[in-house]
Every structure is written in C-alpha cells, then in structure tokens.
C-alpha cells in the first residue's frame, strides 16, 4: 500500500479522499490555492502545500506545481478527485514519467474513452448500441451532409470534456452552421480542443449511468445504475440509485455488456459509462467518465462499498475481491447537489457562510467542506455540499431527503436547498415521471424555474 498520497483537488472531494486515506492508514498531502488557505481539506490533511494564486490555471490546473508538491513531500501517488486534472491523460503521463502513481485509469485508456468520438466508435465495435451520429466535423459541408443523413433534430457535441459545454441542439439546416461554430468556440475555450461531432437528438431522454470498477488483473465489475436525469443545462442537479426505469433484466443485460466491453478496452480503476434512454426504454451509449463521479455516494449507499478506498487499492495493485461481475443493490439512495446559487435565477452566490447546521439522523450523509464562517470563493465550481440519503425504498428515501433538506441551514449566501425542497414535493418527481427537460417546463421573467 502507498506510504503517502497527494490529493490534487479541493473542497468536499478532497475531504472525501482524505477520509478514505485515514481509514486505510495512509498519510495525505493537500494542495491549495491562496483562496483556499482556510479550507477544511487543508486542515485535515497531514501536510499541505500552497501551489499558487486563486485562479485554477495557476494552481489546481498547474501540473508542474502539483508534481513538485508531490516530489517535495515524497508522495507516492496522486488522487485527482473529479474535475480539474482528473481526466487529463497528459497529467497521467507526467505522473508516470515522474514515477508517481496516478490513481485512475491509464493515459491510454483515458485518451480512448475520454474522447467522446473515439469512445462512441469503440463501444459500437464492441456491441454497445450508440445513437446515429458523425465523426469529428471537418467542414460546414460535412456537417450539413451528416445532419441530413442522421435526420433533424441533431445535437452538436464537443469531443472532449463534459458538463454541457460545447453542446447545441439544432432543429434545421439553417441553424446548423452557426451552432457548430459556437460549439467549437465553446469547446476550445473550455477544453482546449475545438473538435465537435453530431449525434441524433432524443426529444425526451432519461440519463442513466453504470458505475464500474476494474483491477489490473483483468477483473471488471459493475455496481448497478444511477438515474441522473434531472439536470439544468446538462449539469446534474440530483441523482438516485436504482433507476425507476431499469428493471433487473435490463440491469443485468446492460451491465454485462459494459463489463465485457471494458475488459476488451483494458480499462482499470473506477469509471462511469453513461447512456441515454429513449421513450421506448432503450439505452444508447453516450460517453464514459474516466474518474470518480460527483454522484458516487449514491452507489456507495446502495452497495455498501467505499469506491474511493477501492480506487486506491486498485491503483496499489490489489485485486477486486467481489465474487461476481455485479452486486445486489439494497434499498434506494438519493443525492442532492447543493450549490451556492440563487435557487430561481441560478446566479452564483459567493461570500461568507454566517450560519450552518448539518442535517443528520438515520440514513443521512453529508459530504461538504462548508462550515460556519467559511468563505465560498467566486473562482471555482458552485458545488458546496452533497446531501445523500438512503431508505428501504424510494418513497422512504424521498421522505428522508425532504426531512434532511428542512434541517439543512446555510445562511449568508443563497443555495439550491429551496429548489430541491420543491423537487421532493413535486408529484411528477415522486411518481418518477420526468426527463432531462424537467426543470424547463416554463419560463418566468426570463429565468428558468420549476412550476409546482
């Protein structure tokens, strides 16, 4: 096992990795920007090193500074968390060259599966259904030809990255050239790569993803699915497991396809294979995230497995000790992503937290780096907490989440707690009747809102 691990991240995911390391008896090194000097991940790590100014490009995305911090502290491995450098094959390459273990898949697997276009092609070759689409677009004429072949509406999508950046729905040939140009510019700014491709647009989709673990000895297991359908601008707001739309047979069939495909790819460590489900409950491969997901706690709640500890063990060369290619899911879990945003306009809300009460009780988990008097800086993602509950069934999980949200106090800044309270009370959500457009049912004063 590793003697010391550096966490190349911040906030709740850095704390999450620190917790796993403490349970494994592994000392940790936190890195932090000048804006995060008083953050909890700095306080609870065994060592901490400032790696630069507040801007991510000069700190959490600064490969040289992070590698230097690992070398100075004699860290044997780096856990990247999610976001920042977590899906950077270049960073994984540098770690390998520096003889530091990257806790994640190999750079080769990241390049293959992290690029959406190449991943689509590979998964199609391996027998996993994909939506009709194109390769990376080289010209306006090629885009128009591909869209005519696929049939409108189509979705323009960036080959790299995620989070809704570089994505545009297009209804007609007249709209396509501008949409492609805009998506390319957005993708270039967000990911440094302007490549985009086309994919058939599904009008009322569900977003379903399968969690996988793979060791260095050829074993791959899947841990069931998560429902990630409720989103805003392709950013997930809440997740649950299992999905109301996936029965035992569909779970078995799809999970087996995923396991066999990743064996062929030679994938290792944790990953998530994402699917779009159409109105006929047919699943189509969407993309793969080659890292731990924000929403991994819901899978932990229904499986009883610590995925971050498993990541570390796999990276250390230990085999997965699960006897089968899947595990039984127990009960139902829901995660609400609590963001520092106005719950109606979604405007960012940085500032000092003046009051804070963490909900607790049976079946409640809170992953957060927030506390009373903490300052939420304006430089990073707005996620400040993940509230997760587990119940014996979905109805109990919803009731438990409603109770936990009512007891969650964050004062001094605006948060998404009121929005999640409305979702929990909504009849359509409770009945499982929703798609990815759930939050866009009407516009009020130019701001997207949820009508109840």
Residue pLDDT, tens place only, 63-82? 999 999 999 999 999 999 99
Does residue 411 surpass a pLDDT of 90?
yes
Specify whether the CB–CB gap between 75 and 7 falls below 8 A.
no
Three-class secondary structure of residue 87 per DSSP? coil
* Whether residue 291 lies in the annotated active site: yes
pLDDT tens digits for 243-253?
A: 999 999 999 99
In which residue are the tokens 């396809």 written? 257
Instruction: Collapse the DSSP code of 425 into the 3-class scheme (helix H, G, I; strand E, B; otherwise coil) and give the result.
Output: helix
Q: What local confidence, expressed as pLDDT, does residue 440 receive?
A: 78
- Which residue in 79, 158, 78 sits closest to 114, CA to CA? 158
Residues 296-315 have a mean pLDDT of: 98
Which percentage of the chain shows pLDDT scores above 90?
Answer: 89
Contacts of residue 80, defined as CB under 8 A and 6 or more positions apart, other chains included, come to 8, 9, 86, 88, 91, 102, 103, 104, 291
Interval 266-296: pLDDT, tens: 999 999 999 999 999 999 999 999 999 999 9
How far apart CA 444 and CA 346 sit, in angstroms, is 13
Among candidate residues 347, 355, 342, 341, the one with its CA nearest the CA of residue 412: 355
Ranges for all domains in the chain classified under CATH 3.40.50.20: 5-103
Kindly state the average pLDDT of the residues 23-27.
Answer: 98
Q: How far apart are CA 148 and CA 139, in angstroms?
A: 14
Residue from 279, 283, 240 nearest 129 by CA: 283
Structure tokens belonging to residue 74: 């004699």
Local confidence band at 325 (pLDDT 50, 70, 90 cut-offs)? very high
Backbone angles phi, psi at 101, to 5 degrees: -75, 125
Give me the pLDDT at residue 161, please: 67
Say what the pLDDT of residue 443 is: 35
Out of 174-178, 231-235, 310-314, least confident range: 231-235
Phi, psi of 142 (to 5 degrees): -65, -40
- 171 is written with which tokens? 């209804």
Mean pLDDT of the chain: 94
Residue with tokens 């991940």: 41
Read off the pLDDT of residues 85-131 as tens digits, 9 standing for 90 and up: 999 999 999 999 999 999 999 999 999 998 888 999 999 999 999 99
Q: What is the pLDDT of residue 163?
A: 67
Asked whether residue 446 carries a pLDDT value surpassing 70, the answer given is no
Give yes or no for residue 162 having a pLDDT over 80.
Answer: no
Mean pLDDT of 323-343: 96
Nearest C-alpha neighbor of 54 from the set 34, 31, 32, 30: 34
Looking at residue 165, its pLDDT comes to: 79
- The answer on pLDDT for 192 being more than 90 is no
**What residue ranges of the chain are covered by domains with CATH 3.30.1490.20?**
132-200
The predicted-structure confidence for 389-410, as pLDDT tens digits, reads as follows 999 999 999 999 999 999 999 9
Q: Is the peptide bond before 286 cis (omega within 30 degrees of 0)?
A: no
Beta strands in 201-317 (DSSP E): 206-214, 220-227, 231-232, 235-236, 238-241, 269-277, 283-289
Residue 372 token pair: 């009373």
Q: If you search the block for the tokens 């063990």, which residue do you land on?
A: 313
Fold topology of 132-200: Dna Ligase; domain 1 (3.30.1490)
Topology of domain 206-449, per CATH? D-amino Acid Aminotransferase; Chain A, domain 1 (3.30.470)
- Render pLDDT for 424-434 as a digit per residue (tens, 0 to 9): 999 999 999 99
Does the pLDDT at position 445 exceed 70?
A: no
Res. 442: pLDDT tops 50: no
Residue identified by tokens 């709740």 is: 12
pLDDT of res. 441: 62
Q: Spot the catalytic one: 16, 251, 291, 365.
A: 291
Q: Which residues pair with 225 in a beta bridge?
A: 210
Lowest mean pLDDT among 52-56, 163-167, 359-363: 163-167
* pLDDT higher than 80, residue 309: yes
Tell the residue number behind the tokens 């796999």, with chain if given. 314
Q: Are 398 and 383 within 8 A, CB to CB?
A: no
Q: Is the CATH number of domain 5-103 3.40.50.20?
A: yes
How is residue 342 written in tokens?
């106005």
The CATH 3.30.470.20 portion of the chain extends over 206-449
Q: Which residues pair with 274 in a beta bridge?
A: 209, 287
CA distance readout (Å), 303 to 51, 182, 223, 349: 37, 42, 7, 35
């Amino acid at each position: 096992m590793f003697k010391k691990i550096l966490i190349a991240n911040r906030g709740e995911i850095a704390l999450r990795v620190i917790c796993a390391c403490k349970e494994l008896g592994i000392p940790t090194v936190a890195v932090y920007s000048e804006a995060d000097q008083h953050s909890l991940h700095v306080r609870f790590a065994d060592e901490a090193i400032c790696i630069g100014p507040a801007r991510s490009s000069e700190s959490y995305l600064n490969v040289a500074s992070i590698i230097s911090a690992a070398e100075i502290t004699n860290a044997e491995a780096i856990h990247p968390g999610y976001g920042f450098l977590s899906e950077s094959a270049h960073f994984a390459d540098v770690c390998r060259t520096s003889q530091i273990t990257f806790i994640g898949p190999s750079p080769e697997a990241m390049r293959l599966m992290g690029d959406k276009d190449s991943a689509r092609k590979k998964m199609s070759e391996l027998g996993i259904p994909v939506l009709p689409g194109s390769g990376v677009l080289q010209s306006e004429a090629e885009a128009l030809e591909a869209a005519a072949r696929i049939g409108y509406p189509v979705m323009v999508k960036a080959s790299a990255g995620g989070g809704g950046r570089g994505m545009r729905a297009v209804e007609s040939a007249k709209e396509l050239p501008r949409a492609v140009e805009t998506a390319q510019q957005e993708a270039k700014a967000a990911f440094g790569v302007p490549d985009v491709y086309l994919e058939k647009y599904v009008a009322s989709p569900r977003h379903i993803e399968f969690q996988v673990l793979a060791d260095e000895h050829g074993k791959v297991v899947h841990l069931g699915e998560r429902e990630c359908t409720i989103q805003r601008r392709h950013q997930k707001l809440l997740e649950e497991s299992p999905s109301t739309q996936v029965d035992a047979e569909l779970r078995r069939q799809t999970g087996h396809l995923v396991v066999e495909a990743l064996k062929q790819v030679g994938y290792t460590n944790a990953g998530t294979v994402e699917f779009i489900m159409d109105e006929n409950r047919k699943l189509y491969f969407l993309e793969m995230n080659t890292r731990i997901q924000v929403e991994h706690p819901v899978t932990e709640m229904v499986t009883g497995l610590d995925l971050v500890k498993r990541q570390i063990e796999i990276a250390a060369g230990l085999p997965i000790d699960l006897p089968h290619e899947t595990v039984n899911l127990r009960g139902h879990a829901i995660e609400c992503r609590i963001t520092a945003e106005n719950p109606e306009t979604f405007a960012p809300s940085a500032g000092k937290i003046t009051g804070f009460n963490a909900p607790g009780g049976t079946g409640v988990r809170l992953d957060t780096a927030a506390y009373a008097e903490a300052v939420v800086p304006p430089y990073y993602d707005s996620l400040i907490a993940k509230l997760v509950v587990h119940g014996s069934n979905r109805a109990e999980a919803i009731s438990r989440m409603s109770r936990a949200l009512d007891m969650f106090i964050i004062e001094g800044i605006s948060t998404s707690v009121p929005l999640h309270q409305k979702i929990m009370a909504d009849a359509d959500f409770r009945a499982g009747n929703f798609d990815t457009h759930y939050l866009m049912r009407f516009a009020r004063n130019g701001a997207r809102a949820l009508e109840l």
